[in-house]
Amino acid sequence: LADLKEYAGELLATFQCAVPDPYAEVMLNTWNAYQCWINFQFSRSISGYAVGLRRCMGTRDSLQDLLGYMHMAPHKARQRIVELMRAVHLENGGCRHQYSALLQEGSEDVGYSDDHLWAILAVAAYLKETGDLSLLDEEFTYSDNGGLSEDLYHHLLRAVQYSFNDRGAHGLPRLRAADWNDTIGEGPDEEVSESVLVGMMLVKMAKDMVRLTKLG
């Protein structure tokens, strides 16, 4: 118990704020940070290993969860980014929808129009937090082509290019299986329907890629 208290104390001490309301202060400094920590560890599963029969850890969920945790343990955030991308990223720039942290492999479920773009947001946030540009040089293969190895920067280029190449009649990215709103994929025609949300994401992530390119 003492070791756990020490470990948790070190994590939570990385960010502390002072506000007039003591209850809000406890929520911000302890419970909100704790929730971000647990989400990073377990995503939407009961644990990173005993994920049950329904699903593994979501690709987009895990990348989003990094945003609230990386200031506490940036080395673990970096490790998660590389492990996840190695397990889920496809040669065409798309992503597998879920992955197993235990098996270090992605699911067969593919075709979501937003999953791959969250990687750019997570990497950009990590670089802003740490200034550690060496992350972009991490080299690994694609989950569907073990013979092709590229650095993370080029993985991200493929991700943003995938959305540019898969646009519909109005110039917006196609919805495909679904965007962030998973349930919206149940009705529309994935070859015709477009996603305004993913279009806005693409603009944001393309700008981030321009900034990353200028850093190099």
3-state SS record for the chain: CHHHHHHHHHHHCCCCCCCCCHHHHHHHHHHHHHHHHHHHHHCCCCCCCCCCCCCCEEHHHHHHHHCCCCCCCHHHHHHHHHHHHHHHECCCCCEECEEECCCCEECCCECECCCCHHHHHHHHHHHHHHCCHHHHHCEEEECCEEEEEEEHHHHHHHHHHHHHHCECCCCCEECECCCCCHHHHHCCCCCCCECHHHHHHHHHHHHHHHHHHHHC
Lookup: tokens for 76:
């673990």
**Residue whose tokens read 């955030």:** 77
| Phi, psi dihedral angles at 58 (to 5 degrees) | -70, 140
CA distance 123 to 2: 34
At 48, which amino acid appears? G
Q: Which of 109, 182, 189, 208 is catalytic?
A: 182
Q: In the annotation, is 182 catalytic?
A: yes
Active-site residue list: 182
